[in-house]
Structure 1
């Protein structure tokens, strides 16, 4: 089992590292750059070439059954779910075969709404302490479940 983290703009990198250390799980922090390598031997920082979705492609090519992927990218999550990996969003929401279709449809609908109204401002809600706590708890459960 490997924990893959889509590390560019990931707000829960430290929580991922703490969970991996606690449970002895190897972790791959995949990014285009901008983060420093971690001294822990369980944590491998993978730098991919710059370009759109290069980190996503790298993760999608490797994640599979028994692995856990942390990402907010819904298309990447769909590929990982299809490959048998367990996927967790930054807010602690698990994505699976049962709900990934709805997540993709919602993403596409929101993209259409944004493109239809160029003056639409704002984004989603701010990342909260509750989101961080929910993520940490969900990640522990997911890692323990994948280890079985």
Structure 2
């Protein structure tokens, strides 16, 4: 058996900005589907006691958690993040990026979202006031949970796990 055949898929979480309701969905998914969830953060946080749920704490600094996730993830892993540049890096490395609102990013969608993000940054730099995302609601959490389940089901059907 090759190393690839022995490799079990992992869900990586950009944990510093991940809403608690999304983390709760991930904890339940880890238990229900027997899949490892690794949270990466630059500050300590409480996680449930489980052999399937782990926390990696990295030093403070721009993109340190993102760099650690990209370094450690494998092809086919899932990364949960609202950070579009991180999602783009994950997709480039043949991972699957899912946003907190259930967006599953692929090569086309992540680059269009990255372009939109960059345009909004330019507008803000020019002094234009822009609104941020609306607060995460229960409907958003359900959309995320459904997208995660669909993605995991597709991965298991392809034989990744």
Question: Gaps (5+ residues) in structure 1?
Answer: none
1:139 aligns with 2:148: yes
What do residues 31-89 of structure 1 show as CA deviations (whole Å, max 9, x unaligned)? 01141243011001111111111110000112232211100011111111011111100
Q: How many residues align?
A: 147
Root mean square deviation, CA, Å: 1.3
The aligned counterpart of 2:88 is 78
Of 15, 28, 52, the residue aligned with 1:7 is 15
Higher-helix-fraction structure: 2
Aligned to 1:100: 110
Structure 2 unaligned blocks of 5 or more: 1-8
Per the normalisation by structure 1, the TM-score is 0.93
Is 1:129 aligned to residue 145 of structure 2?
Answer: no
Asked if the contact 1:66–1:147 (Cα under 8 Å) also holds between the matched residues in 2, the reply is no
Q: Secondary structure at the match of 2:108?
A: coil
8 Å contact from structure 2 (residues 12, 37) kept in 1: yes
CA contact (8 A) 1:5 1:71 kept: yes
C-alpha distance in 1 between matches for 2:130 and 2:103:
25
Cα displacement (A) at 1:121: 5.7
- Tell me whether 1:60 sits opposite 2:70 in the alignment: yes
Q: Provide runs of 4+ in structure 1 moved above 2 Å.
A: none
> Counterpart of 2:17 in 1: which secondary structure?
coil
